[in-house]
Chain A
């Protein structure tokens, strides 16, 4: 297992186009997170999944953003009608949560998908 993988690593698109990012978490991890990182800032939480259920969405996630994790394995993050303000690094992370137990706080991050909207 090579860790969390994200695809594509870089995406350049024109304003108004739709883009989709894919994240493959570490295989035994049941939790998957999406973060966004802009220049000079730390990662900002967007949403997370417990298995296939999307349990929380940040207010940063506008209606143009949708995330899925259909089989509880890989996840996709789609941005519709992209705007220049969407330009950022989109990070995926995964972790294992013991049922009924406390998380360790260790998130395993992918290398990110950098989006540039022209």
Chain B
């Protein structure tokens, strides 16, 4: 069965510093990977997906199949990036098996 691991529950950086939130997965096939974000007092929402190869709010994530990782990166963190970040994996066309990691709480200090 697929599994998503986010090794850091808490991550704290200073404003302007680079940030990397780690995500590792286990699945033998070709998964689809996503990052979801939950800002304070807001609902969980999609941040980005690997198939889109896009940069959202300055964040990027590259799927590394060799290392089975999908780390989320941003070169210069902003205070408004403080939030809970969840890595998620799906193996099916209809994403009805979306599996989430335990999440990493990112705090960006001024």
Q: Which of A31, A44, A55 contacts B100 (CB 8 A)?
A: A44
Contact between chains at B101 and A95 (CB < 8 Å): no
Separation of A106 and B56 alpha carbons in the complex (Å): 14
B86 touches A43 (CB 8 A): yes
Instruction: For residue B28, give the distance in angstroms from its CB to the closest CB of chain A.
Output: 20
Flag whether B40 is at the interface (Cβ < 8 A). Answer: no
Interface residues of B in 62-107 (CB under 8 A from A): 86, 88, 90, 93-103
A25 within 8 A of B: no
Query: What total count of A-B pairs have CB within 8 Å?
Result: 65
Shortest B77–chain A CB gap in Å is: 22
User: How far, in whole Å, are A111 and B43 apart by their CA atoms in the complex?
Assistant: 5
The interface size bin for chain A is 20 to 34
Which one of B44, B45, B88, B94 contacts A103 once the chains associate, using CB atoms below 8 Å? Answer: B94
A85 within 8 A of B: no
Partner of B96, one of A55, A110, A112: A55
Does A62 reach chain B (CB closer than 8 Å)?
A: no
* Contact partners of B44 in chain A: CB under 8 A: 43, 91, 93, 109
Q: Chain A residues with Cβ under 8 A from B49's Cβ?
A: 104-106
User: Are B97 and A107 neighbours in the complex by a CB distance under 8 Å?
Assistant: no
Show the binding face of B for A, using Cβ within 8 Å. 4, 6, 9, 32, 34, 43-46, 49, 51, 86, 88, 90, 93-103
Q: Could you list which residues of chain A lie within 8 angstroms of chain B, going by C-beta atoms? A: 3-4, 31, 33, 40-45, 48, 50, 55-56, 91, 93, 95, 97, 102-112
Q: A42-B86, A107-B46 are in contact. List 14 more A-B contacts (CB 8 A).
A: A4-B43, A33-B96, A33-B98, A40-B9, A42-B6, A42-B88, A43-B44, A43-B86, A55-B96, A97-B94, A103-B93, A103-B95, A107-B98, A109-B43
Q: Mind listing 11 A-B residue pairs with CB under 8 Å?
A: A40-B102, A42-B6, A42-B88, A42-B100, A45-B99, A102-B93, A104-B95, A105-B32, A105-B90, A105-B98, A111-B43
